[in-house]
Amino acid sequence: MSEVVLSTGGTGGHIYPAVATARELLLRGHHVTLLGQRGGMEERIAAEQGLPFFGVQAGKLARSGQGKADPRELLRASSGLLEARRFLSRTRPAVVVGYGGFASLPGVLAAQTLGIPTVLHEQNARLGLTQRLAVRRAKAVGTAYPVVAGLSGSKATLVGMPVREERLSRAEALAALGLDPGRLTIFIMGGSQGSLALNNVLPEVLRSTFPDGQSEFGPVQVLHATGPRWVTSVAPRVADLEWYRVEGYVDAVAAWSAADLAITRAGTGTLAEAAFHGVPTLMVPLPESSENHQLFNARAVEEAGAGQVVEQPSVSAQMGGAVLECLVPQRRRAMQSAALSRSPAGASQRLTDLVLAHARPEAT
């Protein structure tokens, strides 16, 4: 049994692909440890998933208006690098995998200073800052998009975005969620923590678009996952709409299996789930995303015909019309087909194959 360390953290888009890879590695008989920020979201998710976790300090790489990194964050990053180095020196894994985000950097750079092979997974259509710092010494990069801006093709291998590969029938999903099987279902999800901007605007937009819960293509219903912290502020605003359901959190497999159309941000994890389930997606990229990577992601999906971009300043004016356009049966079927053509099914296996191909021989 060989040791593999998965260095990840910060957001669900970085963490859940690591969890999916961990599951595949465990099935193949390897020992896995997640390495990330102590006290971060990744520590909680690792505990929930029953996966070993080692926490270090991690400094954010965000820059001030003067373009200078915060010295306190650099100090934390340096401390985390030393902590990760000590851990890896003890465990001597066969390979370390980096999933991007500031919390992944200590583990990846520490491995590279110790001569431990590293493989990166880039979820976005543009190579992120932390990945750019590590890519020169990495053995390979598994990508979620056929072309990644800023990444040389010589190191890139298209593997897709690892997701939870489970589906329910539409009937099973609607029953599990307590939704009406006779209505078209619009699923709103602003990421693992929800989106304040979408929560603020979409209830009124959809109330205006469907005053009586009806469309020319049939009755509609909305399942709006607000994120736990926002549910009490959103639910009262739609309490009079029997067709508008607000939840802080929903089971993702059931929600995606039930959805006829989704309105989301444009993190790659979200877009990969939409593709796996064949759900047309109206994407509102997060304007503050690092180096505007969500817009790059969304444009790639739009170009493939699987979704449509509505930028955040235009949501109030354009989203209602975009929803109606995407509910047209012919267009919806075409978008469903395009989404399924982008499905990441098998991504966990492909990424694991790539990782083990570059591990020290005892890992294979």
**56, β-bridge pairs:** 37
DSSP code for 63: B
State the Cα–Cα distance between residues 100 and 74, nearest whole angstrom: 17
Ligand-binding annotation for 330, yes or no, is no
Q: Could you give the dihedral angle defined by the CA atoms of residues 344, 154, 15 and 137, in that order, rounded to the nearest 10 degrees?
A: 170
Ligand-binding annotation for 50, yes or no, is no
State the Cα–Cα distance between residues 115 and 266, nearest whole angstrom: 35
Here the tokens at position 220 are 């509609």
Short-list 34, 195, 191, CA closest to 107: 34
Per-position DSSP letters for 90-108, written without gaps between them: HH--SEEEE--SGGGHHHH
HSE, side-chain direction, 13 A CA sphere, residue 27: 10
Here the tokens at position 322 are 């975009």
State the Cα–Cα distance between residues 360 and 139, nearest whole angstrom: 11
State the Cα–Cα distance between residues 151 and 155, nearest whole angstrom: 8
Which contiguous run of DSSP H or E holds residue 239?
none
Helix, strand and coil percent figures for the chain, each rounded to 5: 45, 20, 35
Ligand-binding annotation for 89, yes or no, is no
End-to-end CA distance of the chain: 9
CA angle in degrees (0–180, nearest 5) for 52-9-7: 60
Ligand-binding annotation for 67, yes or no, is no
Ligand-binding annotation for 336, yes or no, is no
Contact 134, 108 (CB under 8 A): yes
State the Cα–Cα distance between residues 179 and 28, nearest whole angstrom: 39
Ligand-binding annotation for 237, yes or no, is no
Ligand-binding annotation for 124, yes or no, is yes
Matching residue, tokens 């590590």: 134
Q: Give the residue ranges of the annotated binding site for UDP-N-acetyl-alpha-D-glucosamine.
A: 11-13, 124, 164, 192, 294
Q: Give the residue ranges of the annotated binding site.
A: 11-13, 124, 164, 192, 294
